[in-house]
Amino acid sequence: MSTEEKVSASEILRSEGAETPITGGTFLQRTGLILAGCVGATGAIVTFALVAKWVFCAPVVPVIQPGADQATIKALLDNYRTLQQIALEPLTGMFDSIVVKVLLPVFTSILGYIFGSRLNKTET
């Protein structure tokens, strides 16, 4: 039978030369990470909801009858392209106004603060 030796995490860190304990960051940094996670999750949910709406509300691909002439086929495809653009336009506008103009700047400013404050902490 083999005997298993348990080694603690602090012993492993000491053996690799990490003498100082690991700190979890300041209160503001931890709060910033939570906020960044919430903003990122909100952005992902909004993006997923808009894609799901597009999938379920997209116009149906037209069925081209065998033997249809070129003018009819061209008209069907032009109408389909127009319907796709009409259905997609409000979704891209919502994505632009919600995610790109609101959530993304908030997300980047939170992350900028988090990483900026960590840099200043290590320099002092």
Please tell me the distance from the alpha carbon of residue 20 to that of residue 76, in angstroms, as a whole number: 70
Task: Say how many domains are in the chain.
Answer: 1
| In a domain? residue 14 | no
pLDDT in tens, 86-121: 888 888 888 888 888 988 888 888 888 777 765 545
98 exposure class (CB count in 10 Å sphere: 0-12, 13-18, 19+): middle
- Would you say residue 7 lies in a domain? no
Q: Please tell me the pTM assigned to this model.
A: 0.62
Q: How confident is the model at residue 123 (pLDDT cuts 50, 70, 90)?
A: very low
Which tokens is 41 given? 């999750």
Contact between 47 and 99 (Cβ < 8 Å): yes
User: Domain for residue 6, yes or no?
Assistant: no
> Is 3 part of any domain?
no
**50 falls within a domain:** yes
User: Does a structural domain hold residue 1?
Assistant: no
38-79 pLDDT, tens digit per residue, is: 888 988 998 899 889 888 888 888 888 888 888 888 998 999
In a domain, 12, yes or no: no
User: Residue 70 belongs to what domain range?
Assistant: 25-123
| 55 in any annotated domain | yes
